Amino acid sequence: ADEMTQMAMGMMGLWITHPRLDARGRHPLIEHVDRDYCFLLNAFDVEPGAQTPNVNTMLEHNIWAWNSRVFPGLDPLVARLGDRVRVRVGNLTMTNHPIHIHGIEFEVTG
């Protein structure tokens, strides 16, 4: 297996381990949320006309992806008005990308 090539082509995932549930069926150390979303940011270097990314380029990229998917193939983060939503973000790139959310109040917790 060539795990570096597999990851560079988008084969990756996010692992989250929660503590055991208490008697009320909740996580004792984690605040209650109505929705919980996770995604990984990654970037690809795809030459014009190519079918696959260049897996040897780590710092030069031209396509941003969320969970290895690019717009317009992204799923919306669905929530009802008043829901408490947690969004976990993992950044697999060697750079940063500004993210903004319209029309809601949010705070960075970690």
Are 2 and 25 a contacting pair, CB within 8 Å?
no
- Domain with 103, as residue range(s), is 1-110
pLDDT digits (tens, 9 = 90+) for 21-45: 788 877 766 677 899 999 888 888 8
Position 29 scores a pLDDT of 65
pTM, two decimals, is 0.70
In this prediction, the residues of the chain whose per-residue pLDDT falls under 70 are 28-30, 58-59
Position 28 scores a pLDDT of 67
Position 58 scores a pLDDT of 63
Total number of domains in the chain: 1
Helices (H), 1-110: 3-8
Are 93 and 61 a contacting pair, CB within 8 Å?
yes
Are 46 and 63 a contacting pair, CB within 8 Å?
yes
Position 108 scores a pLDDT of 81
